[in-house]
């Protein structure tokens, strides 16, 4: 499995968190933004409270600039076509339930055009209640021109295709269904 170099840097950061947690999934409270300053504009964090629930709690400023929409605090499943929702629901569940890392490349669309190569690598975190129900990750894009010509709403951005999906063994294996 190969992930982009920027994502590899984030994997190294995450593995450091795991080492500090004794090889276990790190807690959300273990994340220190000061340790990843250069990556912060591309960092995402989210809460997964159940099926078809993925609510971003942190989205880096560079991501908002590229998408020209802010998804912070909004359930991502409210804006996904059914076939994409089924696939991403399984993907997020695999990351939290296995636990493992995950890498996805997507094509996004808006009225202004397509954004191919929207790359996301995510890893699990333990939330305040002691469950693996948080995600942290990094995003990169193959082009940095804004997806829309104006700042819009989340409903203006659609995932139209998942072009790559892979899992990263962080010490607990990868999903059996893969």
Q: What is the CATH number of the domain that holds 157?
A: 3.30.450.20
DSSP per-residue letters across 49-66: -STT--EEEEE-HHHHHH
Residue 34 in domain: no
Q: Does the pLDDT value for residue 150 go beyond 60?
A: no
Is residue 33 situated within a structural domain? no
pLDDT exceeds cutoff 60 at 152: no
Q: Which residues pair with 169 in a beta bridge?
A: none
- The span from the CA of 41 to the CA of 71, in Å, is 14
Domain that holds residue 98: 5-26+42-168
Answer whether residue 165 shows pLDDT above 60. Answer: yes
Comparing 7 with 161, the larger pLDDT belongs to 7
- Sign of the alpha-carbon torsion through 150, 92, 123, 127: positive
55 within some domain: yes
Does the structure show a pLDDT above 90 at 10?
yes
Q: Note the pLDDT of residue 143.
A: 62
Portion of the chain with pLDDT greater than 70, in percent: 88
The count of structural domains within the chain is 1
Q: Is residue 32 part of a domain?
A: no
Instruction: Report pLDDT digits (tens) over 19-77.
Output: 999 999 999 999 999 999 999 999 999 999 999 999 999 999 888 887 777 889 999 99
């Amino acid at each position: 499995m190969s992930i982009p170099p920027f994502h590899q840097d984030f994997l190294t950061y995450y593995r450091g968190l795991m080492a500090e947690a004794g090889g276990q999934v790190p807690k959300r409270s273990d994340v220190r933004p000061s340790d990843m300053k250069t990556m912060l504009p591309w960092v995402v964090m989210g809460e997964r409270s159940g099926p078809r629930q993925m609510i971003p709690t942190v989205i880096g400023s560079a991501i908002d600039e590229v998408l020209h929409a802010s998804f912070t605090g909004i359930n991502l499943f409210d804006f996904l076509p059914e076939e994409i929702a089924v696939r991403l629901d399984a993907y997020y569940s695999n990351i939290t339930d296995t636990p493992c890392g995950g890498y996805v490349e997507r094509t996004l669309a808006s009225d202004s055009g397509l954004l191919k190569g929207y790359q996301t690598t995510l890893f699990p975190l333990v939330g305040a209640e002691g469950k693996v129900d948080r995600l942290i990750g990094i995003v990169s894009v193959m082009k940095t021109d804004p997806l829309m010509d104006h700042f819009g709403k989340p409903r203006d951005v659609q995932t139209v295709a998942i072009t790559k999906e892979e899992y990263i063994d962080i010490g607990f294996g990868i999903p059996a269904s893969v």
